[in-house]
């Protein structure tokens, strides 16, 4: 339960830092728009401001690159073949 509470406090602080919450912890106008976007709030703020500043294309590319997971990071079991970007790797827990 303590970990949940600290995560919640962290989320509230992050939303307050990007001005998505007011001092009473209510959503601001920006917060309502960020809540509708399916990306992390800081990337959503970048995208929304880029619309206002009329530079959407480059900022959208940057936001997508930052939000995208690393394509070479593959989760696998200790003894499996993992295929990443056309490269086959053999993982064994005994070699580690």
pTM (2 d.p.): 0.63
The DSSP secondary structure of the chain, one letter per residue, reads: -HHHHHHHHHHHHHHHHTTSB-TTS-B-HHHHHHHHSSS-HHHHHHHHHHHHTT-HHHHHHHHHHHHSPPTT-----TT-EEEETTEEEE--TT--
Q: What is the mean pLDDT of the chain?
A: 76
Stretch 82-90: mean pLDDT, rounded?
Answer: 41
pLDDT score of 20: 92
Which tops the pLDDT comparison, 33 or 4? 33
More confident residue, 50 or 11: 50
pLDDT band with cut points at 50, 70 and 90 for residue 14: confident
CATH class of 2-67: mainly alpha
Q: What is the pLDDT of residue 9?
A: 81
Extents of the domains making up the chain = 2-67
């Amino acid at each position: 339960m303590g970990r949940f509470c600290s995560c919640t406090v962290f989320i509230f602080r992050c939303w307050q830092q990007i001005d998505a919450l007011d001092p009473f912890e209510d959503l601001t106008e920006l917060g309502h728009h960020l809540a509708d976007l399916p990306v992390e709030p800081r990337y959503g703020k970048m995208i929304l401001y880029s619309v206002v500043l009329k530079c959407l294309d480059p900022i959208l590319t940057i936001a997508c690159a930052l939000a995208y997971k690393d394509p070479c990071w593959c989760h696998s079991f200790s003894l499996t073949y993992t295929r990443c970007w056309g490269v086959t790797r053999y993982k064994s827990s005994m070699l580690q």
